[in-house]
Structure formats: structure tokens, C-alpha cells
Amino acid sequence: MSLAMMSFIFMTACSQNEGVDDQIEATPDEPQIAESSYNELHPYGGWYCPDNLRGFPPIDIQDLDKIAVVADRLPTQEETRNGTSLMYFDTTEIPSARPLDMNLPRVARIHSSHNDMNELIIIIQAVVAGSDTVVGFRYPNGGNGTAWYGEVTFLSDKEVEEIGPAPFVHEQLDVSASKAEIWKAFTTTTYAKDIAKKFGEEAFFKSEWTDESQVHLVYEYNGVVASGVVATIWGTLYMHIDYDYNGFIFSEKWMAMEQEDGTVELHVVMGPYPDDYGLQAAAWKTWIEGIKESSEQE
């Protein structure tokens, strides 16, 4: 499945900005960028795909050495499909396209309009095309996105070190059941019941699931802000909630994706857990196995 088809909420393209192919010199630490107006999505693949857990699984920001990137040239089409890069630039159509001279991957922050939070991201691609400079990135909690260069704020090595380990639990397994059966099994868990109560959506979590079902989850309490959604897009049942604990973003993702053989690929992503990862990983492994067992008995 292509990255575009995996996108969760939207894939929007805007008209290409016109500009001249300025000669730009850069250093790895302080690259000079072409000027761009980024009040609109850029025209080179404006992806927001936090559900692309296959192509870009969760990764700790301290494990950048495990991320393969293409930094000194433009990627091939295959490299934009296998998780090495994101945006493909055909130089016969965009002859001015060239990689920005900088060290990759790099940790940065971006303000997300989807949850109104400042999220950590890992930049894996930076390209100058005419007067535009754009970046491709992966989310530490899984998935990918793209943005104008000016929308991101890079973290120094010291800042990344100060954050410390930020590992995510990611469990994946195949289930011989329908999405409806999996949804039913999910809603019987204490976890799902707690979410329903917390966000005041008990009726939705008790409802029969359809492909048109969707609910937004939002609340603010005692300084904690939460924003999320449960929906089916492109046949994938997906729940994603982000919590902002005074700047510490904690994410919860749960996804059930139909496969060609009739089974459903089930994912759970939780974290980061900087202190008790092992304990949490064991607990969530047991939880997702319980979902599998319950749904297959329906």
C-alpha cells in the first residue's frame, strides 16, 4: 500500500509556488534555506500519516543511528516507498530540486494543527526546489509527515540528550476476525471503558461499528490537554490520542487494518515510557493478545 493510501486524515496538495533556483550554500549545523511561504501545505506531497506504522514504526529519538536516510542526493522512487525517504522529486519535471546540505537524521519539533501540540519529529529528508525548502519526517510514535522547512525547530544534540530515552511500546499481530468483532472485543476492555468515560463518549464506545463511524476526543483537566480521534479511513480502524503533560507528549495508538488474506493486522503503540518500558511492554503485550483471543471467539 502506498504512503498516500496509508494517510489517516488527509493528503492535501496546494498549487506549486513559483520561484527561481537560487544558489544556496549551507553548513550541516546552520543550513541557509530558500525563502518559502508556508501558510499552505507544500505541493510536493503534503502528507500527515500518523497511522503508517508499517512503513515507519515507532523509534526512540536516542536511536538515530538505526535510521537509514538519503542525505547527499535525491532518493529513488523505491527509497520513497521502503521507509528510507519520503518525497520523490523527478528532476525532469523539477530540475531545480536538490538535497539540502545538512546532517540527517535530526530531531526537531513541529506545532501540529491536528492536536495543537508541539510534537517531536525526526527529520529524514530536506530538499530545496526552486524557492521552496521542504522536509520529510517520521514521528517517534510511528508514522510520517512532511512540512515546510520553516515550520520545524531543530534540537541540539545537548537538548536531545537532556530528553533522555523515549522508547515506545509497539505490539503487532494478525487476528482471524472481522473489524467489527475486534471493535467489540476492544470496547469490553477496561482501557476502552476508561477512555469512553474520560472523554464522555460512552455511547459511541457501546455502538456498533460502521465504516462511517467517527468521534473526536478532546478534554482539558488539571493542566493536562488531550486530543484524539477514532475513525475508519481507507478501511482501517484507527484510534489516536495525544496527551500533553506540561510539554511531555504521551501518545496512544490502536489500529486494525484488513489484509488481503481476510485477517486483520492489529497494532498498539503506547508511550514513550522513559522509566518502566519493560513493565509496560509486557502489560500491553498481554492486553493485545487478549483482544486477539476475544475477537477470534466471537
DSSP state of 178: -
Domain end (from 145, 163, 181): 163
CATH of the domain at 234: 3.30.530.20
- For 39-56, what is the mean pLDDT? 77
H or E element at residue 238: strand 236-245
- For 189-193, what is the mean pLDDT? 97
pLDDT top residue among 132 and 109: 109
Extended beta strands in 188-283, E state: 214-221, 224-233, 236-245, 248-258, 264-271
1 pLDDT band, cuts 50/70/90, is very low
Using CA atoms, how far apart are residues 77 and 189, in angstroms rounded to an integer? 42
Domain count of the fold of the chain: 2
| In the predicted structure, residue 3 carries a pLDDT above the cut 50 | no
Record the pTM: 0.85
Whether residues 289 and 191 fall in one domain: yes
Q: Is residue 209 a contact partner of residue 181, using CB atoms and an 8 Å limit?
A: no
Q: What pLDDT, in 10s, does the model give residues 53-76? A: 999 999 999 999 999 899 899 999
pLDDT score, position 233: 80
Whether residues 144 and 212 fall in one domain: no
Q: How far is CA 252 from CA 74, 142, 270, in A?
A: 34, 11, 5
Using CA atoms, how far apart are residues 97 and 88, in angstroms rounded to an integer? 10
Domain end (from 134, 163, 192): 163
| In the predicted structure, residue 211 carries a pLDDT above the cut 60 | yes
